[in-house]
Structure 1
Amino acid sequence: MATNIKEKDTNLGALWLFKQQFGFSNIPLTIEYEAYFKSLLICANGDGTLADEERDWVIGYAYAYNCDPAIIEKLKIYKADENLEAIISEYPSASESRRFLIFDAIQACSADGEYSEKERAVVLKGAKKLNIPENEFKKIEAIYLETVKLREKRLAAMYPEGSPL
């Protein structure tokens, strides 16, 4: 059963993030966390190299969403060589979030400063396996690129002298 605000106040930050980012009113089950974050690592490993920055991005993301520390420990050593479709399709809410999974996979792949053609090919293959047509995949990619540009624009406007930290 998913957690909501009334059931467990210790997850208020994660619940806020889930509402803000995904429009969820509940926190997914722990097992779904594991499938989602493993899937991100599989995509980031698409070029055959899972860069430290990519793994760190996924682990940081997992921490931000109050992921179980035992799962985070698994992610730290996960080889990311399993079948993406098999991992994600077993969990309904993770599967329903497959477009966000693709968006987040692009973010994870880009965490090392590069979104290589090999990584893109794996993410696209994953999208197709998750029944996301290529034209929808391209829309998700475009939204990601717009998000990056908007973030840069926002930071430049808020900190015209550069980040204070």
Structure 2
Amino acid sequence: MHDTGLRWLYKKDWDFDSVPDGGTYEAYTKALLICSNGDGQITEEERAWVLGLAAALDAPAPLMEELRTYPATEDVHDVLARSENAAANKRALIYDAIRACSADGSLHPDELSAIRKMNHHLDHPDELVDQYLALHEQEQRLRAERVRLTWPDPATKPF
């Protein structure tokens, strides 16, 4: 059953026709937390976003447990060097870092600096971060509009 959910998620988010071969997503999720810690603090919402992503991707229980308390003080370059899986998804990593760092409602300038540092390390053009930022802002506006259209009165939302 979970495989069905994974296939759906990868198709919905990335238009993949199959689920990529595993890996534990360790470097990927740790890199997200390192960027979230760019301002010296990982908020509850940021950590919850990364844990939710890891759970949706079927990360193993030991990694989930480690991520709950991972201090995210390692150098992102060292973390990414330990994983071919993260390198294969390096553009998505920039996008997900923006989403993780924004999960608390704001993207701190130091978090953005951490994302830009990782982007540079991954040899992407500088404008990729700006393009993903604009996309993320647009997606947030569309999400808010979808919610508003579905529940014009927020008090009527069932959950």
Normalising by structure 2, what TM-score? 0.90
Moved more, 58-67 or 141-150: 58-67
Task: Describe how 1:1-165 pairs up with structure 2 within 5 A.
Answer: 10-24=2-16, 25-31=18-24, 33-162=25-154, 163-165=157-159
Distance 1:99 1:128 in 2: 11
1:10, distance to aligned residue in structure 2 (A): 4.1
Query: Quick check: 1:15–1:27 contact (8 Å CA) kept in 2?
Result: no
Q: CA deviation at 1:129?
A: 0.8
Deviations 1:142-164 (A, max 9, x none): 11111111111111111112232
Instruction: Please give the root-mean-square deviation of Cα atoms over the aligned residues, in Å.
Output: 1.6
Identity %: 35
* SS of equivalent to 2:59: coil
Matched residues in 2 for 1:91 and 1:19: separation?
23
Between the aligned partners of 2:141 and 2:90, the Cα distance in structure 1 is 23
Q: Is the 8 A contact 1:99 1:140 kept in 2?
A: no
Distance in structure 1 (CA, Å) of the matches to 2:71 and 2:21: 24
In 1, Cα distance between the equivalents of 2:22 and 2:95? 21
Q: Is the 8 A contact 2:23 2:85 kept in 1?
A: no
Say which is worse superposed, 79-88 or 126-135, in terms of deviation.
Answer: 79-88
For residues 12 and 82 of structure 2, the distance between their equivalents in structure 1, rounded to whole angstroms, comes to: 25
CA distance in structure 2 between the partners assigned to 1:30 and 1:93 by the alignment: 6
Q: How much does 1:106 deviate?
A: 1.0
Query: Structure 1: 5+ residue runs without aligned partners?
Result: 1-8
Structure 1 residue ranges (4+ consecutive) displaced by more than 4 angstroms after TM superposition:
none
Instruction: Tell me if structure 1 keeps the 8 A contact 2:6–2:19.
Output: no
Tell me the matched-pair count.
156
